[in-house]
Amino acid sequence: MSNPIITIAIDGYSSSGKSTMAKVLAKKIGYRYIDSGAMYRAVTLYAMRNGMVSTDHVVDCNALRAALPNIKIDFNVCEDGQHTMLNNEDVEKEIRQLDVSNNVSQVAVIPAIRHALVAMQQAFGIEKGIVMDGRDIGTTVFPNAELKIFVNASAETRAMRRHKELLEKGQQTTYEEVLANVMTRDHIDETREESPLRCAEDAIVLDNSTMTINEQDAWLIDRFNETIAKHK
């Protein structure tokens, strides 16, 4: 009997390593990977470029909502992985910069933006066979996902990982700046009204503070195999 095709939701805190594990799993099992955070980041970049975000991170919600029909987001599969496209422009590098990180949670609280992006995310997953990571995938986007994971690690561990990643990409930031960003986003993500960051009741929780990447990848493939066996 062939394996059932399922939906996999990986949620968790900022910089918890969920994208890394989601990508590796998707590749291993031949599923499509979607980074829902990249979609919020692309909308944020659009808002910043179009003068809709002030220097103290206040977003012009009405202008951004009105601009929604002009924002097209897609993903291109490239040799070095998936690249986020904003109106056919490759913005993969730009959306990962700290200035976008400093505005993205303020954009992600806007209900109209969430509704539009959640609808796009659900369309990506209509045929299952998808691994999606984010904050509300198991609770709002795919509440019926067969496998739900919620990843966490201490804020200091997460900031250290993200700081190292940014330095490797040539972005000059301090650990303190990154820690402040991680903590601010955690707070905004957890306390917003619309689909806040929350562990779904039926999610499996993983604290990967002391795990290596190989260990977390192996842990995830075990959970996948268990889920497949259960649904056969």
Chain residues in the site for ligand CDP (CB under 6 A): 14-15, 19, 36-37, 40-41, 101, 104-105, 108, 134-137, 185, 189
Q: How far is the CB of 232 from ligand CDP (least distance, A)?
A: 30
Q: Which is nearer to ligand CDP, 1 or 168 (CB)?
A: 168
**How far apart are alpha carbons 28 and 24 in whole angstroms?**
6
Q: How far is the CB of 203 from ligand CDP (least distance, A)?
A: 14
DSSP, residue by residue, 79-139: TTEEEEEETTEE-TTGGGSHHHHHHHHHHHT-HHHHHHHHHHHHHHTTT--EEEEESSIII
Q: Which is nearer to ligand CDP, 196 or 228 (CB)?
A: 196
Confirm if 156 and 179 have CB atoms less than 8 A apart: yes
Q: How far is the CB of 98 from ligand CDP (least distance, A)?
A: 10
Q: Which is nearer to ligand CDP, 6 or 182 (CB)?
A: 182
Q: How far is the CB of 120 from ligand CDP (least distance, A)?
A: 11
Q: How far is the CB of 136 from ligand CDP (least distance, A)?
A: 5
Q: Three-class SS of residue 232? A: coil
Q: Which is nearer to ligand CDP, 4 or 143 (CB)?
A: 143
The helix (run of H) or strand (run of E) holding residue 74 is strand 73-78
Q: Which is nearer to ligand CDP, 6 or 141 (CB)?
A: 141
**How far apart are alpha carbons 75 and 26 in whole angstroms?**
15
